[in-house]
Amino acid sequence: MMEEEISQISEISPSVKVSPGQSFPLGASELENGINFAIFSQHASLVTLCLSVPERGKIQDVDAAMVEIKLDPRINKTGDIWHICVEDLPRSGVLYGYRIDGPQGWQQGHRFDSGIILLDPYAKLVEGRRYFGDTIKKMSKFLGTYDFTALPFDWGTDYKFPDIPEKDLVIYEMNVRAFTADESSGLDPDIRGSYLGVIDKIPHLLELGINAVELLPVFEFDEFEFQRHPNPRDHLINTWGYSTINFFAPMSRYASSGGGPVAASLEFKQMVKALHNAGIEVILDVVYNHTNEADDNHPYTTSFRGVDNKVYYMLEVDNNSQLLNFSGCGNTLNCNHPVVMELILDSLRHWVLEYHVDGFRFDLASVLCRGTNGAPLNAPPLVKAIAKDAVLSRCKIIAEPWDCGGLYLVGRFPNWDRWAEWNGKYRDDIRSFVKGDSGMKGSFATRVAGSSDLYQHNDANGEGGRDGSNDNFSWNCGHEGETSDPNIKSLRTRQMKNFHLALMISQGTPMMLMGDEYAHTRHGNNNSYGHDTAINHFQWEQLEAKKDSHFRFFSEMIKFRMRHPTFGRDKFLGKGDITWHEDNWDNYESRFLAFTLHDANLGDIYLAFNAHDYFVKAAIPSPPHKRQWYRVVDTNLKSPDDFVPDGVPGIKGTYNIAPYASILLEAKP
């Protein structure tokens, strides 16, 4: 059989020699006698390997002609794995994909189309267009590639992981491209918007004081996905990246100088190494809830849909096997199917072992808690496997505990004592109180104290919830959009400082957004994923203009938190840890809250938040023995008086707190 198959292939491409290959590992791997290719497809009837071999010294184009090699299921298939070894292939630069055919029964869940060359789900590197937003290459294909010539990356003899406890983290959510894409970054055009650009700006991160970055998606995605057919969004460029094409390959267009996938892989490691050497952890925002392949009305088939749709996606079996959509993006990855679960685990381990990342934030993580039919699971296998995995044991794992199907699991995400959560209720309640909503004082107090109502008695297995909210709880301070009114501008500045103060004194792990340190505006757009413009791009000139005022306050507040462990306890606050200066809990109209955090070693911290539109004369408690109160923060004052690191002495029995303002006092000898 083998001789007949090889003879048949040789007639198609006389220069190609093949052998049966092996079923493990999936993807492209190097064997003694060639390059092995292995791909899973349970329902395929025909698999064809497509190869494009570069001429010496040239970069191979994704649209170049390809050699096609049909795999014989009698020889090149073990179980549900199709495999073949191609001899004498170059050890780098080869592009590859698959044509896959199979049953055409839509109602059975199949979406095979042999006219499309598919990307290998296990490709470790992906070649597409080389430059972000290159309209000439707008419709380019995406193909797998490999590089077995590279030496192991040199992490350095003194290199070590920062290994910062979660309670001590201050996370900075940022987008790799948007961080330095703007001309105001001052970087060479070839470096702007790249992994290397992040390295150049590490001094800014250190000056700000954060110790972890959470990178918006850096897995390969297609920024032109909205422009492939006429639709209301066909003017947008996907800059956020929540639309994964492949779960193993770093975004190739974040390489400098259009360097492509091999350069992207190297420069990503250089970025991680530099951040680690600066004491900054790297957390990835990962999207395992859906892919780029959209819905059944306008599918964008690049990989999983054509490889084995019935396995990779959740289907509504009773409705013509249409794709279920718990992601809001047209499809939902079938996360708890054994094959898909293993792919996700393999992907996570790859990023930890190959790229040394420190953790993951899982987008719409409630999808990971659904079974293959979409129903919520009490003990989802994937969530448990991630929590128990040995390779992932040193990593932070953070859930965004909701999805677009109403599975709202804030405070109830099945955690196995490992998973942390994005606290959506913290965000909503802090916003509501600070902007002056009635009846929010008790909720505000609960949130800054660590949300014990959600997490102190958390059931490790959780259950499915059916609520959730898309509200923003925002306030324009009296005028919509830009204004020259000094009172409104002053109020907005004060409110931003109030929010930042509340965030930095709260129990738990705080996370701030890139650009908050200079008051970046998106001009009212709260979902700006499709704008590769100043709406998203970090504005370095604006940062410089506010370096001694707004930035200074944000930076000093972060560093103050770092110096005071009382804000980052690993246990919930007990009666001896906090005193609430409050006898007005039941007053629905009360918008004032004051409390003292007790610390016998470093000294007590008094905090008061006034969300009324009038002054409140607050009674200040007596300081501990042999100490006096120093005013560190008053958000109503202008810089530099709004934050005085050493504090201003002389605070006695009362303090007149301005409307929409907050103060922080420190008890010192």
- The size of the chain, in residues, is 669
Distance CA 132, CA 628 (A): 57
363 classed as catalytic: yes
- Residue 253 tokens, joined: 């267009």
Distance CA 644, CA 515 (A): 23
Give the DSSP per-residue string, 260-321.
Answer: HHHHHHHHHHHHHHHHHHTT-EEEEEE--S--TT--SSS---SSHHHHHHHHHB-EETTTTT
Spatial CB neighbours of 365, under 8 Å, sequence gap ≥ 6? 289, 383, 399, 400, 401, 402, 403, 409, 413
Q: Which helix (H) or strand (E) holds 112?
A: none
Q: Which helix (H) or strand (E) holds 571?
A: none
Measured at the CA of 126, the angle between CA 120 and CA 127, to 5 degrees, comes to 120
Q: Do 37 and 86 form a contact (C-beta atoms < 8 A)? A: yes
- 655-667 in b/e form (b: 16+ CB < 10 A) is bebbbbbbbbbbb
Distance CA 20, CA 340 (A): 25
400 classed as catalytic: yes
> Residue 64, CB half-sphere, CA atoms under 13 Å: how many?
20
- Kindly provide the residue ranges of all beta strands, DSSP E only, lying in 392-516, ordered along the sequence: 396-399, 420-421, 511-513
- Residue 605 tokens, joined: 């911290």
The residue from 285, 363, 517, 599 that is catalytic is: 363
The residue from 120, 400, 421, 599 that is catalytic is: 400
Which residues have a catalytic role annotated? 363, 400
